């Protein structure tokens, strides 16, 4: 009987990704986009009309990752001019940094000046987060769960999701924030002791995504509190989330 377990154990092997900073995802993964410097206004207008969330602006051309749902339709329409790279490190703490301009091809990073001092001093070695799904479609939630699973194992850095907001150092919001969930979100936030951080995970949370403008949403919460980390994605990839949080905490390497 225990022999079975041993055989499975041997076969299972070591599953955790050794270095979460240097994983190379499949080239097809839709991460940080790059816009060619020679894109014309006509081309920009063509893809701007194609974009389901109005993430593409013209004159000059830019892609707003706050709104982008990573459907890649713009790249399919203009191959060679727009390319989604497999760079999953897209989390930032300054939301303007999520606007990708023409010719811009450098990794997205956090603005160190904007990181509150107490965050690193208090949470660097143990960060407990309460997740609130406020209209999330369960794909972001599953990816956040996966961030703690046997493969990604963010627990190795002391980053963990907890059940009670009283035990948490901050909240991670997924979903466009529905009216029906607005009150519960507020109660949960209030229950987290100070100082606390707010992370928006996924395009739906950052801008409402494909639901933006729906009367069933109530995003007033976001007008009231500062956001410490924006993690784009549809859904967020576990590596995007973990790398973002590690950067916020100032955790150097695996």
Partner 1 sequence: MKDEKYIELITLPGMVKLDEIPVLDYGGFSELVLGLLSLESNHCLNYFVVPFPGKYKFICCIGCDERKSVRVFSHEQERNEKLILPSLSCNHFPLHIFEREIHENFGIDFSGHPWLKPVRYPIDRHDKNRIMDNYPFYTIGGEELHEVGVGPIHAGVIEPGHFRFICNGEKVLHLEIQLGYQHRGVENLFVQNEHGVKKAVLAESIAGDTATGHAVCHAALMETLGSMAVSGTLSLERTIALELERIAVHIGDTAALCTDIAYQFGQVVCEALRTVVINTTQSWCGNRFGKGLIRAGGTHYPLTPEIAGAIRKNLEEVRERYNQITGRIFSMSSVLSRFEGTGKVTRYQASLIGAVGMAARSSGLKRDIRWSHPSPAYGQLNYDPVVINRGDVWARAKIRVLEVEKSMEMVFQFLDLLDGKSENTLPVYKSDLMPDAFAIALTEGWRGEICHCAVTDEKGKIIHYKVKDPSLHNWMALAIAVRGQEISDFPLCNKSYNLSYCGNDL
Residues that bind partner 1 in the complex, under the rule CB under 8 A: 1, 4-5, 7-9, 11-12, 15, 25-26, 28-30, 50-53, 69-73, 76, 84, 130-146, 149-151, 161, 163, 175-176, 178-181, 183-184, 188, 204, 209-211, 214-217, 234-235, 237
**To the nearest whole angstrom, how small is the minimum distance from the Cβ of residue 117 to partner 1?**
29
192 in Cβ contact with 169 (< 8 Å) = yes
Residue 27 or 252 with smaller CB distance to partner 1: 27
Residue 105 or 161 with smaller CB distance to partner 1: 161
**To the nearest whole angstrom, how small is the minimum distance from the Cβ of residue 86 to partner 1?**
8
**To the nearest whole angstrom, how small is the minimum distance from the Cβ of residue 7 to partner 1?**
7
**To the nearest whole angstrom, how small is the minimum distance from the Cβ of residue 145 to partner 1?**
5
**To the nearest whole angstrom, how small is the minimum distance from the Cβ of residue 249 to partner 1?**
19
Other CB atoms within 10 Å distance of the CB of residue 247:
21
Q: What contacts 22, CB < 8 A, 6 or more positions away?
A: 254
Of the candidates 95, 35, 25, the residue with the CA atom closest to the CA atom of residue 67: 95
Other CB atoms within 10 Å distance of the CB of residue 153:
17
Q: How many Å is the Cα radius of gyration of the chain?
A: 19
Residue 75 or 115 with smaller CB distance to partner 1: 75
**To the nearest whole angstrom, how small is the minimum distance from the Cβ of residue 150 to partner 1?**
4
Residue 9 or 225 with smaller CB distance to partner 1: 9
Residue 27 or 113 with smaller CB distance to partner 1: 27
Residue 4 or 96 with smaller CB distance to partner 1: 4
Other CB atoms within 10 Å distance of the CB of residue 26:
6
DSSP 8-state class, residue 61? T
Of the candidates 176, 170, 33, the residue with the CA atom closest to the CA atom of residue 98: 33
**To the nearest whole angstrom, how small is the minimum distance from the Cβ of residue 160 to partner 1?**
11
Residue 64 or 143 with smaller CB distance to partner 1: 143
Measured in whole angstroms, the distance separating CA 79 from the mean position of its chain's CA atoms is: 25
Of the candidates 180, 174, 129, the residue with the CA atom closest to the CA atom of residue 154: 129
The torsion angles phi and psi of 233, rounded to 5 degrees, stand at 145, 155
E-assigned strand segments in the chain: 33-35, 56-57, 62-64, 82-84, 99-101, 127-133, 159-161, 170-174, 197-201, 229-231
């Amino acid at each position: 009987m225990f022999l079975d377990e041993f055989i499975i154990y041997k076969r299972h092997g070591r599953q955790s990704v050794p270095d979460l900073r240097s994983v190379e995802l499949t080239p097809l993964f839709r991460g940080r986009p790059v816009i060619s410097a020679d894109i014309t206004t006509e081309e920009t207008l063509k893809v701007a009309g194609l974009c389901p969330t109005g993430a593409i602006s013209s004159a000059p051309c830019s892609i707003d990752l706050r709104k982008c749902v990573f459907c890649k339709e713009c790249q399919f329409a203009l191959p060679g001019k727009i390319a989604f790279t497999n760079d999953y490190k897209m989390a930032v703490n300054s939301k303007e940094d999520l606007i990708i301009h023409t010719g811009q091809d450098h990794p997205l990073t956090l603005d160190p000046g904007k990181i509150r001092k107490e965050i690193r001093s208090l949470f660097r070695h143990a960060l407990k987060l309460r997740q609130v799904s406020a209209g999330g479609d369960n794909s972001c939630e599953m990816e956040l769960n996966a961030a703690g699973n046997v493969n990604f194992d963010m627990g190795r850095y002391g980053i963990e999701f907890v059940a009670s907001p009283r035990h948490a150092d901050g909240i991670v919001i997924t979903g466009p924030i529905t009216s029906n969930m607005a009150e519960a979100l507020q109660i949960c936030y209030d229950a987290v002791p100070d100082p606390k951080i707010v992370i928006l995970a996924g395009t739906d949370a950052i801008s409402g995504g494909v639901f933006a403008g729906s009367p069933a949403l109530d995003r007033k919460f976001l007008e009231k509190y500062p956001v410490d980390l924006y993690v784009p994605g549809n859904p967020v990839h576990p590596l995007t989330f973990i790398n973002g949080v590690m950067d916020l905490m100032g955790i150097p390497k695996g």
